């Protein structure tokens, strides 16, 4: 409860309006976490990387592909555009398909990313119906959006229609009792320790039915 109290202090109740969109934090996470546009692939650089990955000299690779050494050198240095026949010879010599000449290498390294969020230190984001505490904010380009929420809503009428967004969502009740409303199912009551997993593009809302505001853990996929 202390974490919830700290969260309320961070945003005055006067700033919480019925028009506040509870989906805003999903939008914020996507806007701050999306990858930038991919760099165009340089064929010459790609061919050189493939050759060096095999430990071949320029002459060895040219012999494997059945090309003149000078031709391969010009391709790697961007001094000529190879014909399709030359591309087929290159691919055969490198033992890959032609499309793989234009495909960036797959990164298989472990990222080793980690972030710890001490209790009550998440980023507050309040709405008229929920008080969210965004977790793991130190990581960008996340595949999931985890957040703790205090459920303020007490009836469906507190919402301005259904909440819906792309992706899937996992809900776990931490304290209290909630009622989960979903567009295509009957409402379900969830107590402490209960959970639900659902399609987030389906309309959904959650209200507290216990004496105290319930708290839940939400994890949303950022698809």
Could you report the per-residue pLDDT of 69-103, keeping only the tens digit for each? 999 999 999 898 888 888 899 989 888 888 888 87
Q: Which of 41, 84, 47 is nearest to 64 (CA)?
A: 47
The CATH T-level fold of domain 2-11+113-221 is Jelly Rolls (2.60.120)
The CATH number, out of the four listed (3.40.50.2300, 1.10.260.40, 3.40.30.10, 2.160.10.10), of the domain defined by the range 43-102: 1.10.260.40
pLDDT at site 128: 86
Q: Give the pLDDT band of residue 19 (cuts 50, 70, 90).
A: very low
pLDDT at 150 over 60: yes
Calculate mean pLDDT across residues 123-140. 87
What residues does each domain of the chain span?
A: 2-11+113-221, 43-102
pLDDT at 13: 38
pLDDT at residue 15, rounded to an integer = 45
pLDDT tier for residue 137 given thresholds of 50, 70 and 90: confident
SS3 annotation, the chain: CHHHHHHHHHCCHHHCCCCCCCCHHHHHHHHHHCCCCCCCCCHHHHHHHHHHHCCCCHHHHHHHHCCCHHHHHHHHCCCCCCCHHHHHHHHHHHCCCHHHHHCCCCCCCCCCCCCCCCCCCCEEEECCCEEEEECCCCCCCCCEEEEEEEECCCCHHHCCCCECCCCEEEEEEEECCEEEEECCEEEEEECCCCEEEEECCCCEEEEECCCCCEEEEEEEECC
What's the whole-model pTM score? 0.56
pLDDT averaged over every residue in the chain: 82
Statement: residue 173 has pLDDT above 80: yes
């Amino acid at each position: 409860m202390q974490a919830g109290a700290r969260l309320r202090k961070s945003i005055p109740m006067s700033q919480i309006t019925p028009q506040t969109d509870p989906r805003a934090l999903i939008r914020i996470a996507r806007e701050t976490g999306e990858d930038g546009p991919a760099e165009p692939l340089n064929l010459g650089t790609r061919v050189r990387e493939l050759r060096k990955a095999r430990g071949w000299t320029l002459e060895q690779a040219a012999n494997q592909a059945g090309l003149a050494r000078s031709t391969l050198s010009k391709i790697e240095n961007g001094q000529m555009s190879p014909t399709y026949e030359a591309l087929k010879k290159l691919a055969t010599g490198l033992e890959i398909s032609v499309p793989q000449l234009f495909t960036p290498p797959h990164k298989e390294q472990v990222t080793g990313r980690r972030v710890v969020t001490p209790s009550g230190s998440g980023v507050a984001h309040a709405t008229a119906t929920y008080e969210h505490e965004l977790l793991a904010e130190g990581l960008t380009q996340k595949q999931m959006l985890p957040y703790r929420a205090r459920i303020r809503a007490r009836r469906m009428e507190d919402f301005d229609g259904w909440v819906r967004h792309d992706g899937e969502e996992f809900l776990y009740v931490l304290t209290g009792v909630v009622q989960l409303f979903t567009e295509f199912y009957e409402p379900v009551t969830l107590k402490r320790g209960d959970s639900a997993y659902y399609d987030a593009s389906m309309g959904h809302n959650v209200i507290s039915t216990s004496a105290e505001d319930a708290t839940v853990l939400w994890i949303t996929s950022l698809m």
